[in-house]
Amino acid sequence: MDIHRLEVFCKVVELQSFTKAAAVVLLSQPTVSEHVRSLEELLGEKLLDRLGREVLPTPAGRILYRYAQNIIRLRGEAVQAIEKFRGNMAGHL
């Protein structure tokens, strides 16, 4: 599961729009749709209900959104920890 696709999925959920999410993540709307579709295929579940212009997460989508937020947060923390480690190591040389 690609973290970038999870980030795109989260943005769609937060903005309730493929078009608005596409503008924020600097991708085309069809690419954003494909990212979500690939997650749906991977998980075997519909993740979003498309109601006209509004997009809302399904129950499975709400579950994935919560986990995706944690994955994204943990990735950021890991990067910060490595950068801090790298900075400390440079100070010891």
pLDDT by residue for the chain (93 residues), tens only, comes to 899 999 999 999 999 999 999 999 999 999 999 999 999 999 999 999 998 889 999 999 999 999 999 999 999 999 999 999 988 776 665
> Residues 6 or more apart from 1 whose CB is under 8 A from it?
39, 42
C-alpha to C-alpha distance for 54 and 79, rounded to whole angstroms: 34
CB 21 within 8 A of CB 31: no
* Nearest residue to 14 via CA among 65, 87, 78, 63: 65
Q: Which domains does the chain have, with CATH numbers?
A: 3-91 (1.10.10.10)
What pTM was computed for the model?
Answer: 0.89
